[in-house]
Structure 1
Amino acid sequence: MTKATERGGILAVVALIFANVALAFGPWFVRMADTGPVSAGFWRLTLALPILFVIAVQQREPLTGYRSAIWWLLALSGIAFALDIASWNFGIERTKLANSTLFGNMGSVIMVLYGFVISRAWPHRAELAAVALAIVGAAMLMGSSYELDVRNLIGDLFCLLAGMLYVVYLLSIRRIRSDLGSWSVLVWSTVFGIGPMLAIALLLGEPVWPTDWTPVLLLALVCQLLGQGAMVYAVSHFSPVVLGIALLSQPAIAAIIGWQAFGETLSLTDTIGMVAIGAALVLVRLPEARCAARRAARLAASPPAS
């Protein structure tokens, strides 16, 4: 990786900042919607699908002719993503915005634990510290939520469940990304997620059809298209450490939105728990960054090919 690529350039920096800001507005849009929270997730996928389809076609990514195994994984990814969004949106209504954002990011820590089991390798000290910090931070946030209102604890647990479901989504698409383009994966994951999302909303008895389309349109455009699109672009330009630090902006922005829009305040315990989980998200990426630095150093030290 070149030094210019590592820095990412101005455009990549702007994209990374914009992505975190855009995604942090998701909980607010869900609360603004006059549909149910799961129904808002249904519209997030449904309204984004036509644009995703157009982009995939313009990028000349094939949308048919896959092997049966790929179709099964696409279906699994779509259902897991639908359950993830449904659980997260359900939890958003029952906890603080900063809490929902933090627990939605717990999937990265869970992914590391999964990696330990698969590789059967003892974790690095930084990884152990990250797991410990995440557990302590989660306990502090949920404990404080319980002291304030039991409904916050329920929301925290649903957002944590969403983080675990997101791991299932990531692992399923990870298996097929080498065969399909990113936009075609997004198209079919969205298609397979729309039905389960609508079914869950109806089973919960939520109002589905909005009278005010602004919040769900913003949810689809700002979060699903612009936010995720900017993040996909930025990920390839920065080290894991930089990306982990950037994730800390989402809880901060969500906390500011919650304070301004809903009068939410963060106690000292909430703040410490938020910092602990944020630090875990950074620490969990340190070993990977060190390995990348060592590989780059070895490549720089090796003699050029004749």
Structure 2
Amino acid sequence: MTEAAMASPDNGRLKALGVLVAGGAIIGLAPILVRLSDAGPAAIGFWRVTFALPLLALMALRSDGGVGAPSKFALIAGLAFAGDLSFWHYSIHYTSVANATVLTNLTPVVVTIVAWLAFRQRPANLFLLAVGLAVGGAWMMAAGRGAGAPGANPPLGDSLALSTAGWYAIYLMGVAAARKSAGAARVMFWSSLASAPVLLAVALALGENLTPSSAAGWAAVVGLGVMHVAGQGSIAWALGRLPAATASVVVLIQPVVAAILGWMLFAEAMTPLQMAGGMLALFGVVLAQAASRQRKPA
């Protein structure tokens, strides 16, 4: 085999997979930083994307020659991301963390179904099995945390969490479409810029506390901005090289990372059910990579 052959599609795919896994792992920091922030739920999302914008603009200048003009898909992704952050933050307030996590992690199911029905991207049976294993593992990790406070309005919170899965699915597919004609930094800049005013409007309309009240709170939202660039930026880059359905399964590594960090930083021990769920989710991620190469014709 020649050196050129050894360097082509599979190595490029492995690189994209590595970047995608790294991005998902970085995003696993989000629940910890959100918990340390002391502003309103939507306001936290506003500060996250606002602090990310200067970094994204610099990255776009270096990699793409500037931010350029936005594509409609980048703007659609930004609006969907605003819905994702708003609905997810409020779902945690109204229902248990376990329910919010489980329902939000249905994103791969939504992406696969939409890609199948709307874009005729029929998945292989093995990929469907991988989705089921990954989602099942994520559910086990959430359910394994034990019974917690049910929240102020569980039915409302569950509905918001379920909606979050749809918002994030739209975001992933929007970014994937935008990446066909623009670099990752440019897509991330415009999607973040589009989401900022929506998040601010939601925070104002709901009477939220707009600004953190402590230095630690400000540090947390600045950290969220940096995390947004590194995490979502890595995911956006990988989406230019991998199918959205595959990416939606791989980012299920987020709850695994969040659970591990909770154990390391807050002494939140993982139960046997959580450990089994984490291994199952990771197995589903690996299986999805193999299965995604076996797509059936529509």
Provide TM-score, normalisation by structure 1: 0.72
Whether contact under 8 Å (1:109, 1:281) holds in the other structure is no
Distance 1:272 1:159, change over 3 A: farther
The C-alpha deviation readout for 1:158-194, integer Å capped at 9, x for no partner, is 4443221011123334443333333222222112111
Equivalent-residue separation in structure 1 for 2:5 and 2:208 (angstroms): 51
Q: What is the aligned partner in structure 2 of residue 214 from structure 1?
A: 219
Which moves more between the two structures, 131-140 or 171-180? 131-140
Kindly tell me the number of residue pairs found equivalent between the two proteins: 285
Equivalent-residue separation in structure 2 for 1:89 and 1:2 (angstroms): 46
Q: What is the aligned partner in structure 1 of residue 6 from structure 2?
A: 3
Whether contact under 8 Å (2:77, 2:175) holds in the other structure is yes
How many angstroms does 1:41 deviate by? 0.9
How many angstroms does 1:82 deviate by? 0.5
Q: Which amino acid aligns with 1:22?
A: I
How many angstroms does 1:44 deviate by? 0.5
Whether contact under 8 Å (1:33, 1:215) holds in the other structure is yes
Q: Which amino acid aligns with 1:194?
A: A
Q: Which amino acid aligns with 2:163?
A: L
User: Alignment partner for residue 255 of structure 1, among 253, 259, 262?
Assistant: 259
The C-alpha deviation readout for 1:111-163, integer Å capped at 9, x for no partner, is 11222223557643213323544665576567667954423966665444322
Q: What is the aligned partner in structure 1 of residue 85 from structure 2?
A: 85
Secondary structure (helix, strand or coil) at the match of 1:42 reads: helix
Are positions 1:42 and 2:46 aligned together?
yes
Equivalent-residue separation in structure 2 for 1:176 and 1:240 (angstroms): 12
Equivalent-residue separation in structure 1 for 2:187 and 2:201 (angstroms): 22
Which moves more between the two structures, 171-180 or 22-31? 171-180
Structure with greater Cα Rg = 1
Q: What is the aligned partner in structure 2 of residue 301 from structure 1?
A: none
Matched ranges for 1:1-306 at <5 A: 2-4=5-7, 6-7=10-11, 18-58=22-62, 59-61=64-66, 63-64=68-69, 70-71=71-72, 73-92=73-92, 95-96=96-97, 100=101, 104-118=104-118, 123-133=123-133, 136=136, 147-151=147-151, 158-210=160-212, 211-212=214-215, 213-221=218-226, 223-232=227-236, 247=251, 249-262=253-266, 264-290=268-294
Q: Which amino acid aligns with 2:124?
A: H
| Structure 2 segments unaligned to the other structure (5+ residues) | none
How many angstroms does 1:287 deviate by? 2.7
Equivalent-residue separation in structure 1 for 2:15 and 2:126 (angstroms): 31
Q: Which amino acid aligns with 1:201?
A: A
Distance 1:184 1:165, change over 3 A: same
Secondary structure (helix, strand or coil) at the match of 1:190 reads: helix
Whether contact under 8 Å (2:188, 2:236) holds in the other structure is no
User: Identity rate of aligned residues, in percent?
Assistant: 27
Whether contact under 8 Å (2:110, 2:169) holds in the other structure is yes
Q: Which amino acid aligns with 2:53?
A: L
The C-alpha deviation readout for 1:65-119, integer Å capped at 9, x for no partner, is x6xxx44x4433221110112222334555448973x765542332112222235
Whether contact under 8 Å (1:16, 1:231) holds in the other structure is yes
User: What root-mean-square deviation, in Å, do the aligned CA atoms of Structure 1 and Structure 2 show?
Assistant: 4.2
Distance 1:113 1:57, change over 3 A: same
Provide TM-score, normalisation by structure 2: 0.73
